[in-house]
Every structure is written in structure tokens, then in C-alpha cells.
Amino acid sequence: MTPIKNQLRGRPCATPVERLRARFWYYSVKARTSLSDYQLDLFFLEKLGRRPEDPQKRTRIFETIRLNGTLPSNGKHPKRDFDLIKLVDEEDAFAGTAEIFHSPYWQLLTRDDADIAVYNQIAQKMLKRLGLTRLDSDGEFGFHCQAYTDVKKSGLTISVDETNSPFALYEKILNTVIKESPTSLDQLAALGALFREAYLACALEIALIIKHLYCDLLDEYVQQKWLMPIANPLQELGEGYLIFPHSYNYMYKATVPQPYDDEPLAVVERIIWYEKEAKEVSNLGAELRAARKR
């Protein structure tokens, strides 16, 4: 007998990232036009040859995406047998919106695995889009041996302290080359992939540098007027799911069992001490905290 659970199974609920992705695409479309949801519905239904005689009985496509974060149809939905992303992107006014919807950035927000090769591939792809690349071994050696002649020609000034610190040098150059162009989703995807890659390679100093730059650019990116309706979830999920993929649910979702008595970052930084003395130290701390509140 088929279990009742399977009989009642329907379309799985959209995840927070899926809802954000759908609404992000919606607002990227709206940023390019003054048409209302009603007008956009009719425009694309007309393009499909499906404009209803009574517009009030139309399928409310764009309003549903805006209000519910419903993923745009890809042609496989029983009630919407057309690819809305492709249909919209074919219009000159909305060219490039498909690329936004299919950006590797959304993949980064939904992955929490340790496959460093995947993050390397995404990083290389996104850097190429930005006109950047990672130097190979010979390039790295040549860069340092040329006393930064080429770098100085490009307008980048490097101090003596930075030449003596590989991390300071990396930070200076990364900030310069990334910030040469306006903040974009491609930049966020590139930095997100570089962060994950560095973290998994245990290059924690590099990961920290990338994390700070990523968070700064994300904060700047969400300030754009067209993103204001989704600025908060974009910043929260953009940091939570990308920087803290394994601990984000514990930090922000009350429905997930909490294994810690504080945020995971705060817990893992605590001192490791002798078990037989830990209770005594804990009691002392509790007494001191209580005394401060009096």
C-alpha cells in the first residue's frame, strides 16, 4: 500500500533563496520599464497569442512572483507551458535578465558542501566575466620579481610594508581590481566562490580578506533604489547562506534544533579548558555577570 504521506506529496515549498531569486529577477525586470504588473502580463500573454478577452481573468504572472516569490515558469509547469525567463529576455528592453536569473550566485547560496573544485570553477568563470584571472605559478613569481613595475604603471601604489606582507599585498590588489568596475552580481558571485575556495583550502587569512570585501560590496549593492523592496533578505541571505552555510540555520531559524547556547561563531572561539575545572569557572562567570547587573 502506498503511504498516505506519498499520496499527499505535492510541489515542494520554495526555499528562502528560491523566493529571493524569483523576486530579484522580478525587480531586475521592473527596473527596466514603467509597465505595471497588469501591463506586463498582457504584453507577454499577447506575445504568446494568449491575451484573454477579459483582461481581469488573465493569469496574474508578475504579481504572483512579486508577492509570493514564485519561481518563473520554465515551460514544464502544467498551467504555464512557456519559459517566462526566456520570453522576457528576448525583448531588447529586458536583455540580460535571464543571465541574472541563472547567475552562479544563486548556486553559491544553496550549496553547503565541501567540493572545492566546484567553487574553483565558479570563481574562474566569474573572474573571466570581470576581465580578471588568477596568476599561475610563473606569473606569481614574475610579478614579485619585477619590483611591481607593471603594477605601478597601472596606477596601483604599493607601500614597503605591503611588499613585506603577502596578505596585505593580496588585500590591496584584490580591492583595487574588484572595485575598478561598478558593484555587480558577477562581483558578488566571484568573491563568494573565492571565499568558499579559500576557506576549504584552509587559507583562512585569505578567506577573511575576501569575506570583508564581499560583505562591503554586498552592503553597497543592496543600497540601489531598485533593490530596496528586497534589500533586507538579500543582505541577510547573502551573508548568512554564503559566509555561514553550516551555521546559518542555527543562527536565524527557530525551527532548527539549536546545539549551542550562543551563535556558533561565538562558541567555537571559546577557550578549551580542563573538564574537571570547567564547571567551577562557569559558576564564577555566572556570578560575575549577575553582580554586574545589580
pLDDT by residue for the chain (294 residues), tens digit each?
344 444 445 556 788 999 999 999 999 999 999 999 999 999 998 888 877 777 777 778 999 999 999 999 876 766 667 899 999 999 999 999 999 999 999 999 998 888 899 999 999 999 999 999 998 887 776 666 664 555 555 566 666 555 567 788 889 889 988 998 899 999 999 999 999 999 999 888 999 999 999 999 999 999 999 999 999 999 999 998 898 866 555 555 555 566 667 666 567 667 777 878 888 888 888 888 888 877
88 close to 41: Cβ distance less than 8 angstroms: no
- Indicate whether 114 and 228 sit together in one domain: yes
Which of 101, 124, 156 is the last residue before a domain boundary?
101
- Indicate whether 115 and 201 sit together in one domain: yes
Evaluate whether residue 257 is within a structural domain. Answer: no
Evaluate whether residue 1 is within a structural domain. Answer: no
Evaluate whether residue 287 is within a structural domain. Answer: no
d(CA 72, CA 44): 13
- Indicate whether 134 and 237 sit together in one domain: yes
Question: How many structural domains are present in the chain?
Answer: 2
Evaluate whether residue 263 is within a structural domain. Answer: no
Which of 67, 101, 135 is the last residue before a domain boundary?
101
- Indicate whether 131 and 229 sit together in one domain: yes
- Indicate whether 211 and 183 sit together in one domain: yes
Evaluate whether residue 120 is within a structural domain. Answer: yes
d(CA 281, CA 287): 10
- Indicate whether 138 and 227 sit together in one domain: yes
Which of 221, 243, 265 is the last residue before a domain boundary?
243
Residue written as grid cell 564581499: 214
pLDDT score, position 137: 80
Evaluate whether residue 282 is within a structural domain. Answer: no
d(CA 85, CA 92): 13
- Indicate whether 154 and 224 sit together in one domain: yes
- Indicate whether 39 and 62 sit together in one domain: yes
- Indicate whether 165 and 226 sit together in one domain: yes
Instruction: Provide the residue range defining the domain that includes 229.
Output: 106-243
pLDDT score, position 161: 59
Which positions ≥6 away from 20 have C-beta within 8 Å?
Answer: 69, 109, 230, 233, 234, 237
Evaluate whether residue 259 is within a structural domain. Answer: no
- Indicate whether 91 and 116 sit together in one domain: no
- Indicate whether 189 and 141 sit together in one domain: yes
- Indicate whether 33 and 154 sit together in one domain: no
pLDDT score, position 3: 45
Evaluate whether residue 269 is within a structural domain. Answer: no
